[in-house]
Structure 1
Amino acid sequence: MKWVKDTRVAAGPEATWYLEAAFTPGAHLGTVHNDPTTPIVVTGIEEVTTMRIPSGRLVVDAPFDDDDVSSYEAGLPTRPPRELAVSIPPGVYRVEIAWTAGPYEFLDEYFDGVECAATRLCISDDPVILWEMGLAIGDDVDRLQPGEQPRFHADANIGCFADAGAWTTLSAPFRAFKNGSPVPRESEQLPGWCERVRDESQQADLVTFTAESGGVVWLGRTKTGDVATIIVTSGMPGSKA
């Protein structure tokens, strides 16, 4: 189906600025809380890993939430994952993190203030000309309120990209709890506190990333309407520097 621009989901000026600045080394994304003289600076872009998405269907969600784990442990149905309404070409794609630093002092102790500004899945290197919110299957664009940003929620401050076709297998290690504590899972530890779980039977992957309380998903569209990148942000600064 041919893509048609929809102003109801298009990113506004502030979100557009942030999405473009977040992956520009040296850019200022705001200022440190309670210290308007210290900027939050993009210090670099780190390639975390590559991941396989053979189905072309993408989940961007928390790998689990508290209610989901309880249902899973009880053998009850769990909620469906937040699968994006848009599909991408099956393939292997880079996962990258934009890092920022905003040093500060607290109780006479110095902190470097290093944080993840955003995480992205790189579909192509074609220029992005438009940003829009990444709606999930089942989201009703007609019910969006002005300024509302649909998001996923993350009890453990963890989000993920995952192949939707292999979701059940890929997310299972995150739902294994015993006596209320997570069971150690077999996953590959990656830079930036990320993890990768593989499903070799389907040649599919799940990659986690930091997501404070969840995140908003953004699609970067090219002039032809194709999705070139998918970015997840957990929040945007209140001021620019």
Structure 2
Amino acid sequence: MEWVGDPRLAAGPEAAAYLEAAFTPGAELGTVYDDPTTPVVVTGIEELTTIRVPSGRLVVDAPWHDDEAYDYQRGLPTTPPRELAVRIRPGTYRVEIAWTAGPYEFMGEHCDGIERAATRLCLSDEPVVGWEMGLGVEDDIDRLQPGEEPRFFSDANVGCFADAGAWTALSAPFRTFSDDVPVPRSSEQLADGCERVRDASHQADLVTFEAESGGIVWLGRTKTGDVAAIVVTTGMPGAKA
């Protein structure tokens, strides 16, 4: 039996087209702002790193929030991260970034307009037949309003994928401050300013990526309903109204 998703979570036509095109080199993702004659083109897909998720439970959230960082330093409890309701098979997966270019002129100077289009966690190579918004464990689909887009928020424009079972240890390096200034952390610096934190006791990882103000999480489903990809986008149209 083929998968049939809940229409309340389904990506609208514009969002679905964006998600399909974002990881297709050479595809066009609209045009440059204020210049309808210049397309924004997908220039390539970069494999950023791999991530271990032994618990099968995935957090997609900011690695820290400013208000909670200070609670953490004072030994106060912090709210749980945004863990996805969907479960994935425990394993190690690729994290990829889709890059675009949309050249433009600014104050007489030429700019290449290179930007991230989306970030993807690759769970399998099976074809995706449909996209739906990924709910968190605390989200209630029956309270979802038409056009509402469940998402995570980020004070520092940073998101992450992380194993939920090791969240406390994995997120701890991001919550250390001295006189309101972040303390340098012992994380692995990846390309393009991203980071990876590894926890030996759980054999689990956290990987950060750019997420302006946060992002919407999308699940790419196969014809059998399995999740083949989890994609984070920012600032683009979402679900059906």
TM-score range, shorter chain: over 0.9
Matched, 1:57 2:63: no
Partner of 1:130: 130
1:79 matched to 2:87? The reply is no
Q: Which deviations, in whole Å up to 9, do the C-alpha atoms of 1:83-127 show, x marking residues without a partner?
A: 000000000000000000111122222221111100000000001
Following TM superposition, the consecutive aligned residue runs of length 4 or more in structure 1 with deviations greater than 2 angstroms are: none
SS in 2 for 1:160: strand
Please list the CA deviations of residues 211-240 of structure 1 after superposition, one character each: whole Å capped at 9, or x if unmatched: 011000000001111000000001227xxx
Identity of matched residues, % = 75
* Superimposed CA distance per residue, residues 140-160 of structure 1 (whole angstroms, 9 cap, x where no aligned partner): 111111111111001110000
Alignment of 1:146-185 (within 5 A): 146-185=146-185
What is the distance in 1 between the residues matched to 2:63 and 2:118? 18
User: How many residues end up aligned between the 2 structures?
Assistant: 236
Q: Secondary structure at the match of 2:125?
A: coil
Please give the secondary structure, in 2, of the residue aligned with 1:173: helix
Q: What stretches of structure 2 of length at least 5 have no aligned partner?
A: none
TM-score (norm 1): 0.95
The DSSP-based 3-state class of the residue aligned with 1:51 is strand
Please give the per-residue CA displacement for 1:8-51, whole angstroms capped at 9, x wherever unaligned: 10111111000000000011101111111111110000000111
What is the aligned-residue RMSD (CA, Å)? 1.3
Partners of 2:74 and 2:168 lie apart in 1 by 16
Structure 2 matches for 1:80-159, cutoff 5 A?
A: 80-159=80-159
- Counterpart CA distance in 1 for 2:105 and 2:182 is 34
- 2:210 aligned partner, one-letter code: T
Q: Give CA-to-partner distance per residue, 1:44-95, whole Å, 9 cap, x none.
A: 0000011100000000000011111121122111111000000000000000
- The corresponding residue for 2:208 is 208
Distance across 2 between alignment mates of 1:66 and 1:143? 28
- Give 5+ residue unaligned stretches, structure 1: none
Question: Secondary structure of 1:88's match?
Answer: coil
Contact 2:176–2:182 (Cα < 8 Å) also in 1: yes
* Separation of aligned partners in 1, 2:80 and 2:229: 24
Structure 1 CA distance for aligned equivalents of residues 23 and 61 of structure 2: 21
1:20-31 maps to which residues of 2 (within 5 A)? 20-31=20-31
